[in-house]
Structure 1
Amino acid sequence: MTIAPHHPVQPATDRADFIAAMGNAATGVTVVTTDGPAGRFAQTVSAMCSVTADPPSLLVCVNERSPLAAAAVRNGHFAVSVLGLGQAHVSDVFAGRPGPGTATAPYDFGCADWDTHTTGSPLLRDAAAAFDCRLADAVVSGTHRVLFGAVLASAVSTTARPLVHHARTYGAHRPL
């Protein structure tokens, strides 16, 4: 595994314009977790996608300031839970902003029920989809670490509809 710094090129767009444009991109909502000698951590992540089906792999982008970034590398594995419509509160908790008047603290695993599979990383029970990954590679790019995972196990709910994030609000996918 290599953690190589990415050498940024001159930005082609204004940062504020870029953030505004990305805010108009609808994304799925995931919580990425790890557990092991480096600790148990989780973070809400919207930047997750498949890399290839042969072999099954995916990537997630985690801010370098999050303790999850270093812990996933040290633990050598991570898991991804794709949140369902009734799980927006889990997204808020692991984004560091549990709702007002809740007893849940930021980053508190007590906000939901969890299972483990092959690696021991927590997976959200009743998630719309779940992926348990061995860390295959990690690359630093700007403020984030891109974690590449070899998917050791995956599951999909036949009933849960995925939670979507768009324009700083949660929503649902609706077929045309």
Structure 2
Amino acid sequence: MTLTLDDAVDPRTLRADFVAAMGNAATGVTVVATDGAAGRFAQTVSAMSSVSADPPSLLVCVNRRSPLADAAVRNGVFSVNVLAVDQAHVSDVFAGRPAGGESPYEPYDFGCARWLPLSTGAPTLAGAAAVFDCRLATGHEHGTHRILVGEVLASSVTDARPLVHHARAYGAPRPL
């Protein structure tokens, strides 16, 4: 008898194992933001990666039910803000997580931090460890998410240590 993946693994078990394994992967914490005719939105995103150095480009994965996903496509621009260690509260706000068991934050509360406009018009977070100003190059849907590929028009970096997320907790990278 030949077993297929569908025969060998219960889909609920596979999903639970996947979520647990991904939770063990340390990731940088970013807030992706857009502004334009389709509106001003931002969301905490951990799935961000470099795509190419020529042309400079990156990708972010955004839940397709989020207003950010549609607005970034319609606005055609977005910023990626790599949060600094002192910006965990910004991550919580744009993830919609309550602080200390309080009621959930207003999901797009830009008043939680200072924002500045980039050349594309996308907002950038003051004090971020790194910032990328992007024009949408392409978008793809896969599963529950929209993959946005942005051509990087400008980027900057500060001396701030980046915020990381691992095992459902925030931290900071340490040299070996």
TM over 0.5: yes
Deviations 1:5-49 (Å, cap 9, x if unpaired)? xxxxx7997000000000000000000000001000000000001
Q: What is the CA–CA distance in structure 1 between the aligned matches of 2:98 and 2:169, rounded to whole Å?
A: 15
How far is 1:107 from its partner? 2.1
Runs of 4+ in 1 over 6 A off after TM superposition: 10-13
**TM-score, normalised relative to structure 1:** 0.90
Q: 1:136 to 1:109 in 2, by over 3 A?
A: same
List alignment gaps of at least 5 residues for structure 2. Answer: 1-5
Whole-Å separation in 1 of the counterparts to 2:73 and 2:167: 31
1:74 maps to 74
Are residue 140 (structure 1) and residue 129 (structure 2) matched? no
TM-score calculated relative to the size of structure 2: 0.90
Displacement of 1:118 in angstroms is: 1.4
Q: Structure 1's 99 and 142: CA in aligned 2 closer, same or farther, altered over 3 A?
A: same
1:96 match = 96
The amino acid of 1:112's aligned partner reads: A
CA apart distance, 1:103 = 10
**For 2:165 and 2:43, how far apart are their aligned partners in 1?**
15
Q: Which residue of 2 aligns with 1:3?
A: none
Q: Which runs of 5+ in 1 are unaligned?
A: 1-9
In the alignment, is residue 55 of structure 1 matched against residue 50 of structure 2? no
Aligned with 1:22: secondary structure? helix
SS of residue matched to 1:59 = strand
Q: Which amino acid aligns with 1:137?
A: T
Q: How does 1:2-151 map to 2 (within 5 A)?
A: 14-100=14-100, 105-151=106-152
Count of matched residue pairs:
167
Deviation per CA, 1:136-159, whole angstroms, max 9, x where unpaired?
0000000000000000010000x2
Report the Cα offset of residue 106 of structure 1: 3.1
Q: What is aligned with 1:171? A: 171
Looking at structure 2, the residues matched to 103 and 49 of structure 1 have their Cα atoms a distance apart, in angstroms, of: 29
**Which has the larger share of helix?**
2
Bigger Rg, structure 1 or 2: 2
SS in structure 1 at match of 2:93: helix
